[in-house]
Amino acid sequence: MTCDHRLGWRRFVCLAAVCAVPVLGLVSCHPASGLPAPSQPLTPTPDADFRSHAPDAEPRRLLRVPSLSSTVLPNGLKLIVAEDDDLPTVSIAFANPLARPAHRSLYALLGELTLATLLAAAKPIQDRDESAVVAFETAVGPRGTRLTLSGVADTLPQVGEHLRVVLLPPPLDSLAFSRAKATLSAGLATSHRVPSGMSRFAADVLYGSDENDQQLERAEERAKETLAQLSLEQVQDYYQKRYSPTRSALVFAGPVTLDQATAVVERELGAWRGHPQTAKPPTPRVATPGRRLRRFTSSTPDADRLVVALPCPATTSPDYLAFELLAQLLERVPSFELAHTLRQDSGIAYAWSAHCFDTIDERTFLVQVETAPGEAGLALEALLGVFEHLADGKLTIADLATARASFLADRAAALSSTRGSAQALADAFLNDLPDDFYETLEARVNQLTPAALQVTARRYLREAPMAIVVAGKQLAFGGRPLLQGISESP
């Protein structure tokens, strides 16, 4: 028995002699040949025209981007406001593209020391009014300096005052300078030691400016020697030449309007003037062709440490987003059963990370692995196998969906707080990204295909230069075809 229920006409055509079909609680049945013609067509519903012309519903967006507005103040300072009334805090990020390292070592530390001295000079006010400011955060990189202040929304005037004290301090004195040196020296004790120092060393190997093993072990000592040579006069000169409203930006994020932010900045920084010296961008280094290995005996033989360094595309590169999705997959190695391989073959415990990092003159992709003693060779072979897996186009739709979701979730988490929004927009300013970068980011990510990721994987994971640094026991190559073609530096 077959029945054709034609919606809209409330008409049931029965191809059998009888058919019982409940309609609105009734039972109706007619022979197919005996149905009367409808007396009038169905009356359209009031919204029929709207439904026939309505656009398709847009998919739910993962990135929630605040409403942006901006202006440039008379002293040349750009003001960007990300208004978000749903959050109870306000954050201000100062982005200064002029306060960046002009060359390696000396100026890298001088930029950090200058910012640390400014904060040390402002500390008395911060101690007096701790309730107004939640946190200071600083970052000095190849694109410039970023300083972030966060506070409760109703303390916006006090947060503005803290900002003024940092950027327009009283004359920098020896006390603030000494405190800043002590703070920076304590930080060097961890950032230049193995394994932390291996990241810098791996980048040097990649770009052909590596040093010998003994100097790597002395990285912390050499950095402290450089810091000791810097003087208060150099810091004062750096501040005068590199800190200015011209070409800098302030980003406000939180329940604050453009008019409110403008009033705060004009009151606190309206008198700020400056004629900075243009900072010449560092000359990018060129990666040395081929795959190069450096290894040495670690002073902590309880584990092997492996760092693999590759060139990383700039944020303005067409390959940027595709590579970021590849990095998401490499960060989550269980997607390729790498964790299973490592544990099954050797029973090792390991720590793993894979990210692009900004160095002074370039961006470098670093995969950092910590294994049980003697197992770095196995980890390296497994990693190179994953590289080949991606370059061979074995990426599935599910893998791509995982990479997209992970990348967008990370960005969404950053933009979910006022601090994260302010820092993301400040970084976009420092990197010369368009104002709508985050507004269009999700759509651009969703347009990427497995083929696009494969092309990028071939270019960066198979064909690009590579540096490998191992600290620990001797690395064995025997019987491992993926490790062939790696040249070991003397």
pLDDT band per the 50, 70, 90 thresholds, residue 251: very high
Confidence (pLDDT) at 211: 52
- 46 or 328, greater pLDDT: 328
| Strand partners of residue 468 | 293, 308
Closest by Cα among 464, 446, 447, 445 to 456: 464
In this predicted structure, the answer to whether residue 132 has a pLDDT above a threshold of 50 is yes
Domains 67-269 and 291-488 share a fold: yes
Residue pair 87/418 in contact (Cβ under 8 Å)? The answer is yes
Q: Is it the case that residue 384 has pLDDT exceeding 70?
A: yes
pLDDT of res. 191: 53
pLDDT the model gives residue 253:
94
| Predicted pLDDT at 62 | 74
For 303-313, the pLDDT digits (tens) are: 788 899 999 99
| pLDDT the model gives residue 30 | 40
In terms of pLDDT, which residue wins out, 463 or 104?
A: 463
What is the residue extent of each domain of the chain? Answer: 1-38, 67-269, 291-488
| pLDDT for residue 249 | 95
Please tell me the distance from the alpha carbon of residue 195 to that of residue 205, in angstroms, as a whole number: 15
Cα first-last separation, the chain: 85
Is the pLDDT score of 284 beyond 50?
yes
Calculate the CA 224 to chain-centre distance: 29
Please, are residues 256 and 81 in contact by the beta-carbon 8 Å criterion? Answer: yes
Confidence of residue 129 (pLDDT cuts 50, 70, 90): low
Beta bridge partners of 470: 295, 306
For residue 51, what pLDDT is reported? 57
Lowest mean pLDDT among 223-237, 295-309, 343-357: 343-357
Is a pLDDT exceeding 50 seen at residue 1?
no
Q: Going by C-beta distance under 8 Å and a sequence separation of 6 or more, which residues neighbour residue 291?
A: 465, 466, 467, 468, 485, 486, 487
* Cβ atoms < 10 Å from Cβ of 161: 18
CA dihedral 207, 209, 213, 216 (to 10 degrees): -90
The lowest-confidence range among 219-223, 332-336, 352-356, 368-372 is: 332-336
Tally DSSP H helices, then E strands, for the chain: 16, 16
The better pLDDT of the pair 252, 51 is held by 252
Q: Is the pLDDT of residue 103 over 70?
A: no
Average pLDDT over the chain, rounded to whole?
77
pLDDT above 90 for 264: yes
For residue range 171-230, list pLDDT tens digits in order. Answer: 888 999 999 999 888 877 655 444 557 887 888 888 877 554 445 556 667 777 888 889
Higher per-residue pLDDT: 458 or 436: 458
Phi, psi of 294 (to 5 degrees): -130, 135
Higher-confidence residue: 331 or 426? 426
Q: Which CATH topology does 67-269 take?
A: Cytochrome Bc1 Complex; Chain A, domain 1 (3.30.830)
Question: What pLDDT is attached to residue 274?
Answer: 77
Give residue 258's pLDDT.
Answer: 95
Q: Does the structure show a pLDDT above 90 at 455?
A: yes
Cα(490)–Cα(484) distance, integer angstroms: 17
Q: Which CATH class is domain 291-488?
A: alpha beta
